[in-house]
Amino acid sequence: MVERDCPPAPDGALPSAGATRRRLISVAATLLVLPVVPRLAQAATILAVRTWPADEYTRVTLELDSELKAEQFTLENPHRLVVDIEGLTLSAALNDLVSKVRPDDPYIQSLRVAQNRPNVVRLVFDLKQPVAPQVFTLKPVADYQYRLVLDLYPKVAQDPLIAILNKQSGPDVDDPLARILEDIQRNPVTRADPPEPPRVRGQQPAPALPTPPSPPATASRGKKRMLTIALDPGHGGEDPGAIGRSGLREKDVVLRIARRLKALIDSQPYMRAYLTRDDDYFVPLHVRVQKARRVHADLFVSIHADAWVKPSANGSSVFALSQRGATSAQARWMADKENAADLIGGVNLGTHDRQVAKVLLDLSTTAQINDSLKVGNAFLDEIKKINRLHKNSVEQAGFAVLKAPDIPSVLVETAFISNPQEEALLRSTSHQDKLAQAMMTGIQRYFTANPPLARLGDVS
């Protein structure tokens, strides 16, 4: 049957065996392709739906087998967000999305799904408050296929300083934030209003974080200086980080360690801690840096857990930024892996926000790196008392999250989550406590040797 459809060979001779085989392959390929063609015109298949509700923003992710276009608009009275997705028909997976809206979601009251037109599905989010939505697509990366991402940000961006109001200094304490905090309390609306970023066609602007105000130029002598430590639990939301053999996720364990360390810091008389994320949602790397700058952090500590293909790899390590290449191949690999968090976690590349971040992060960080190495060494001295060290010295590479030009910044790989013994350690609350205590002591050692009064001049 196949042979009969073949055209005769140009010279009128019978086709050679090789030519016949090629035609058979070509026809077979056509036959294989044919049933697929009508399917391409049909709806895409939803592979998974996920929601990541958080105070900062709520993300809804649809994972699909192909890239889809979506358009959105908002309505008032009552507040609604309408998203039309082209190339989709109603399915059980979409109904599953409806059930994934949590009652405690700060933004979404409920969700309705309907076939609006042939091939167009309409999602209507009934909102608890007005939102500035961002809708964008992500190409396949890591374990994910195509993703359609709907981010629901508040119309007025939350100011990280609000989160820090829980611990204010007394009259005998010199606190660079005190004046700013007072100002916010006196005039909360104007203070929290974000600047209007330029609009990108087809999407709402990202609510930018308020610009960091300048701290007081000089510290009052004789007063104890209030210190602010930014703790940065790595990954979160769509980005689980590394996953151990028994299923422990880096994003979960580093948040637990960071919360323990925060409690220790907050119990000190002249220290307060600020978490760049305090829930299971994704924070882009440059936003973590911006948040730390906004609260005028005196130190930035990013907390992670390593993974390696060989389960035998073990030990803790501490990293600082490098402006001139990595100190080892492993450090470079580690920085590449951690910097990939933005791709996996899902950053909207269309926002103006990222250009601002790039300018900020290209500033000189020489003094910062010197301080970061001191902090890193203090950490290694303490951590080696509770775990093996993977490397005895602070390693350096181009970690995006360590690039605040004015804040000493270190990244701690607490242990190898890919090593079964260390995964068990990371899971245990007593070891989490030990890690938090080791970092607490490291922080105290650093500030004792490098008094904060001397540092204030660098910041202003």
Cβ proximity to Zn ion, 105 vs 232, nearer residue? 232
* 296 vs 304 by CB, closer to Zn ion: 304
Rule CB under 5 A: which of 214-243 touch Zn ion? Answer: 234, 241
CB neighbours (10 Å) of residue 92?
7
Q: How far is the CB of 337 from Zn ion (least distance, A)?
A: 7
Report, in Å, the least distance between residue 411 CB and Zn ion.
8
Q: CA 166, CA 343: separation in Å to the nearest integer?
A: 34
Q: Does the footprint of Zn ion cover residue 249 (CB under 5 A)?
A: no
Beta carbon of residue 245, minimum distance to Zn ion (angstroms, whole number): 17
The distance of closest approach from Cβ of residue 236 to Zn ion in the complex, given in angstroms and rounded to an integer, is 10
DSSP string of 87-121, one letter each residue: T----HHHHHHHHT--TT-SSEEEEEEEEEETTEE
For the bound state, the minimum distance from the C-beta of residue 338 to Zn ion, rounded and expressed in Å, comes to 5
Question: Which CB sits closer to Zn ion, 251 or 431?
Answer: 251
Length of the chain: 460
Looking at beta carbons only, is 194 or 241 nearer to Zn ion?
Answer: 241
**Identity of the amino acid at 458:** D
CB-neighbour burial class of residue 172 (10 A; exposed 0-12, middle 13-18, buried 19+) = exposed
Q: Which of residues 419-458 bind Zn ion (CB under 5 A)?
A: none
Instruction: Compute the least distance from the CB of residue 241 to Zn ion, in Å.
Output: 5
In contact, 101 and 110? CB cutoff 8 Å: yes
Q: Pick between residue 288 and residue 304 the one whose CB is nearest to Zn ion.
A: 304
Site for Zn ion in 283-322 (CB under 5 A): 304
**Contacts to Zn ion from residues 117-136, by CB under 5 A:** none
Q: What residue is closest to Zn ion based on CB?
A: 304
Q: Which is nearer to Zn ion, 210 or 233 (CB)?
A: 233
Torsion of CA 15, 19, 25, 29, to 10 degrees: -90
Interface with Zn ion: number of residues (CB under 5 A)? 3
Residue 275 vs 456, nearer CB to Zn ion? 275
Q: Which residues of 121-149 are buried (b: 16+ CB within 10 A; e: fewer)?
A: bebbbebbebbbbbbbbbeeeeebbbbbb
State the minimum distance, in angstroms, from the CB of residue 213 to Zn ion: 31
Buried residues in 363-376 as b, exposed as e (16+ CB within 10 A): eebeebbebbbbbb
What's the min distance (Å) between Cβ of 295 and Zn ion?
22
- For the record, the structure tokens of 275 come out as 């978490």
CB of residue 253 vs Zn ion: minimum separation in angstroms? 10
Residue type (1 letter), 293: R
Q: Smaller CB distance to Zn ion: residue 197 or 240?
A: 240
- Shortest distance, position 63 Cβ to Zn ion, whole Å: 22
Please identify, using beta-carbon distances, which residue of 241 and 408 lies nearer to Zn ion: 241
Q: What is the dihedral of CA 383, 388, 393, 394, to 10 degrees?
A: -60
Q: CA-to-CA distance for 4 and 240, rounded, in angstroms?
A: 56
Q: Judging by beta carbons within 10 Å of its beta carbon (0-12, 13-18, 19+), is residue 351 exposed, middle or buried?
A: buried
Collapse the DSSP code of 165 into the 3-class scheme (helix H, G, I; strand E, B; otherwise coil) and give the result. Answer: coil
Token reading at 336: 């590449």
Q: Quick one: which of 412, 448, 449, 414 has its CA closest to 428? A: 414
Radius of gyration of the CA atoms of the chain, in A = 27
In this complex, which beta carbon is closest to Zn ion, that of residue 351 or of residue 414?
Answer: 414
Write out the residues near Zn ion by the rule CB under 5 A: 234, 241, 304
